[in-house]
Amino acid sequence: MMGTTGWFETVAEAQRRAAKRLPKSVYSALVAGSERGISVDDNTAAFAELGFAPHVAGLCAKRDTSTTVMGQSISLPVFISPTGVQAVHPDGEVAVARAAAARGTAMSLSSFASKPVEDVAAANPQTFFQMYWTGSRDELVARMERARAAGAVGLIVTTDWSFSHGRDWGSPSIPERMDLRAMIRFAPEGIARPRWLFDFARAAKVPDLTAPNLSSDGGPAPTFFGAYGEWMQTPLPTWEDIAWLREQWGGPFMLKGVMRVDDAKRAVDAGVSAISVSNHGGNNLDGTPAPIRALPAIADAVGGDVEVVLDGGVRRGGDVVKALALGARAVMLGRAYLWGLAAGGQAGVENVLDIMRSGIDSALLGLGHSSIHDLGPADLLIPNGFGRDLGIDA
């Protein structure tokens, strides 16, 4: 069912194929945001508000899209954001990691992912491991050390999760089984649903949902539901905790989900090497504006101190160029590659990365630049009132 389906020309087409291929509930779990969907909608709408200011002559015959992020050289300023739902395809995160490696870029693996970090890091030596703040300090360190031993070259810590489980679009319809109902009700952003529904459709049986990267030693994996329950009960991290974990890791360290200038400054003080300006793809606190609106003020404030990455709403190479022009070093993709994965497995993810690369190249050509490093606000038409400078006076 999930074989290669041939080339597609835009992410929108990958999305259409994903919609056709996946069970309806699985597809909606990938697409939808939390609550009313204000944030998820703004993530793409904000990119559409920005325009370009192209030149017509004196353009550059050669354009360079390569850069570095978290100590890794990447061939384009785009890499994979961690998501916990890649079991939409049997090869899941391993297929994504291979595709990223084939296109010369980095992979991020969610600790709620379906494949062990050992397999993913073997498929892409540029793998970052993502953790939520769950479990004891010893467990956090053990999990991190397992990822390090597996070859992970950077750590991403995501702390923008506020345990909101309501969605106006409704929950996927599922058979009457209490345990599954409970699991689905408490599942963050549909991590559990897609895998279960897909396997259910194919095998007509209930799979054993586990999170293999949450066991520190590669031993028995906790169930997904158990893991989520533990997360909900874990004391929430302070800025000192972030600094502590950063010290334990020692290497490249990203704090993901920063939306305010004051938080960005605290992240710098905590010693992080990178932040991602992100609203969790609109899956967290609904009403949080699009990260592209918060980016300029944050990049202004801390761009000289840490690497500023953006994720949320990136659907084409032009979006990447807009983010870079407003101060991002690189962007991470979420839904775009998930749709590619659903549409065509590894080849589908490669296809999405190729779309990004050629879109970036077209925009660079039109804007008269030979390198992504030459992009700046003068390349854009930025409507009045576009920005949302959060936490700037604090």
Ligand X SMILES: Cc1cc2nc3c(=O)[nH]c(=O)nc-3n(C[C@H](O)[C@H](O)[C@H](O)COP(=O)(O)O)c2cc1C
Binding site for ligand X (CB under 6 A): 30, 43, 81-85, 110, 112, 130, 158, 189-190, 256, 278, 280-281, 283, 311-314, 333-336
- Known catalytic residues? 280
Q: Which of 284, 291, 295 is nearest to 314 (CA)?
A: 291
CA dihedral 188, 30, 82, 142 (to 10 degrees): 30
Comparison of 311 and 350: residue with beta carbon closer to ligand X: 311
Which residue intervals of the chain are DSSP H helices?
Answer: 11-21, 24-31, 38-49, 92-102, 117-123, 137-150, 178-186, 192-203, 224-233, 239-249, 261-269, 291-302, 317-325, 335-367
* Closest of 78, 129, 165, 125 to residue 340, by C-alpha: 78
Of 81 and 105, the one with the shorter C-beta distance to ligand X is: 81
Distances in Å between the Cα of 247 and the Cα atoms of 241, 272, 343 are: 10, 9, 40
In the numeric block, the tokens 């993709």 are attached to 333
Q: What angle do CA 123, 125, 131 make, to 5 degrees?
A: 90
Interior/surface letters 144-179, b for 16+ CB within 10 angstroms, e for the rest = bebbbebbbbbbbbbbbbeeeeebeeebbeeeeeee
Report the distance separating Cα 137 and Cα 82, nearest Å: 22
Q: Which is nearer to ligand X, 45 or 394 (CB)?
A: 45
Nearer to ligand X, 105 or 283 (CB): 283
CB of 47 to ligand X, least distance (A): 10
Query: In terms of CB distance, is 213 or 367 closer to ligand X?
Result: 213
**72: β partners:** 69
At its nearest, how many Å lie between ligand X and the CB of residue 370? Answer: 28
**153/367 with CB nearer ligand X:** 153
Q: Shortest Cβ distance from residue 358 to ligand X (Å)?
A: 18
Rounded CA separation 340/29 (Å): 15
